Amino acid sequence: MHSAASALPAVGDGRHGSGQTVVLALDIGGTKLAAGIVDPSGHVHSFLVAPTLGEQGPERVLERLWELGREAREASGVPWADVAAIGVACGGPLDPCRGVLLAPPHLPGWRDVPVTALAEEAYGRPAVLENDATAAAAGEHRYGAGAGTRNMVYLTISTGVGGGVVVDGRLYRGATGNGGELGHVTVDRHGRPCRGCGRRGCLEAYVSGTSIAERAREEGLARTDAADVAAAARDGDARARAVWDETVDALACGLTSIVNLFEPELVVLGGGVSRAGEQLLAPVRERVRADAMKPAGEAAEIVQSVLGERVGVVGAAAIAAERGVLSHG
């Protein structure tokens, strides 16, 4: 399989590769590490996960991550010689130019960790670091639900809410590479406190899995996560329904602002909460279409991510392709 992959042109530079065309893609999540070998068509040749255990500190966790990467390479059957670059996705804030993790809230105590320098040292390959939601947007745009679109918004609804934006075919990064924080669009300026940024009434404070579970508990439901609440709402439980309806309402409100702002052709929803599928998407789609300015609301399709749990590694590979590190192979 890898021989077919290495015969494909290197993504990003338009030239044919010299054999080095696949990316070792790594994802540093708050609870899980992931590693995979991804080829230029976005195909994932191997995919391994391990617990992050962030409290062990960056040195030990990264050592385990590099090892997971070596195991993923071995599991893929792709020879080392074909690995052109290392792509790393992680929650921000981070400096994608220098490849340094600044102080990500999901990894307490990790400060100014020079991830790309350490990855380059570990593997002897060029490496890139990107915000995980931005990388996921790149992955969906290059290889997933957003392939072929010029203007696309990606929203990942999970423990927190992250976002990424493609404008005129290019990934939007902002002044320091931390733009596109769509989870912190305000949906109620006097609303619930937002753990992610310290303000009030952010989209994240209502639609994240954390918030859904928290509001369910406030309603007296002994449900533990967003999937339980979604199921109970489907079964007609009035309190679960109230929580779910408020979630739909907040998501539709935030997405309407986002659609008005960017007029995307496509909105892709990923992350655990989006696995509720049409129970979430159908009412949100209807509301955004009705509430957004015309014709933006009609232009925007709202669909579910197609990359699922692999979006982190596919995104990290898309970033390596986008930044052209494959062309140095």
Where do contacts with Zn ion occur on this chain (CB under 5 A)? Answer: 184, 194, 196-197, 202
Nearer CB in complex with Zn ion: 70/199: 199
Residue 33 main-chain phi, psi, to 5 deg: -100, 145
Cα separation, 264 vs 85, in Å, equals 31
Closer residue to Zn ion (CB): 202 or 318: 202
**Smallest gap, in angstroms, from Cβ of residue 182 to Zn ion?**
10
Q: Give the C-alpha separation, 125 to 62, whole Å.
A: 16
Identify the burial level of 28 via C-beta atoms within 10 angstroms of its C-beta, where 0-12 means exposed, 13-18 middle and 19 or more buried. Answer: buried
| Angle (CA) 39 40 44, round 5° | 30
Across 129-140, b (16+ Cβ under 10 Å) vs e yields bbbbbbbbbbbb
d(CA 89, CA 104): 12
Q: Looking at beta carbons only, is 184 or 289 nearer to Zn ion?
A: 184
CA angle at 324 for the pair 82 and 326, rounded to the nearest 5°: 5
Our CB check for Zn ion shows the closer of 144 and 254 to be 254
Q: Nearer Cβ to Zn ion, position 202 or 288? A: 202
Nearer to Zn ion, 154 or 206 (CB): 206
The burial of 69, by beta-carbon neighbours within 10 Å (0-12 exposed, 13-18 middle, 19 or more buried), is given as: buried
Joined together, the tokens standing for residue 125 give 């390959």
